Amino acid sequence: MRKPKLVISTGAGVSAESGISTFRDAGGLWDNYPVMQVASHDGYVANPALIHRFYNERRHQLLEAAPNAAHLALAALEKDFDVYVITQNVDDLHERAGSSKVLHLHGELMKVEATDNPDLVFNLPDDNGGDIDTDVDTVIKGHHVRPHIVFFQEAVPNFEPATELAREADIFVVIGTSLVVYPAAALIQYVRPGVPIYYIDPNPAQVPAQVHVIKEPATKGVVVLAEELEKYKSQTNK
């Protein structure tokens, strides 16, 4: 029997409870760093050394973090559902929690790409002599590298695969996002009419009336979601 396809779109809120600093919230990273300096193509061109330092700091922060109850609960849903996670987050907490199908929209913190060929992607620390830090002089397999991050002013290459997942969803869930970051915020528009949509966030944005809003942080909201999915299973199995 085919498992229902559960597509989950996650934002910074799902990792915030693991201690990963968000960008937009009060006290977030953008209070300390001007966004266009550290997260834009122009910023990278203007000061690549700053970009390397900034993302080195983010990697060290990530190593101190662990998946939280929300990450673990989403991974556990694979028992009953065909789960695909589309994440705006650049951390690897979904993978470390056990989610097997994760699509990163905005890149991955523990990877770097060749400056002369963005399709050449290397894993840190394995491909860098065991080091997670990089700088403008770092060369891996003959290539200078930059963070494998989709900066502002750059295309989002995984957006089209993400829209396909949204179209194929039997259930669509949004967790921990302000729904203001595009194109990721537009994914909800690709969900087929009649497909159940759930939105978990303690400060939810305005959404269409048919969306089921769970006004909770991620760790509490996924508990409510699991209860709703149990109802879905019982109804579809009748």
Annotated catalytic residue: which of 52, 104, 106, 148?
106
DSSP state of 177: -
Burial tier of 97 (Cβ tally within 10 Å: 0-12, 13-18, 19+): buried
Per-residue burial over 31-64, b if 16 or more Cβ lie within 10 Å, else e, is: eebeeebbbbeebbeeebeebbebbbebbeebee
Gyration radius (Cα) of the chain, Å: 18
Any catalytic annotation for residue 106? yes
Look at residues 148, 150, 195, 158 and name the one whose alpha carbon lies nearest to residue 174: 195
> Mind telling me the catalytic residues?
106
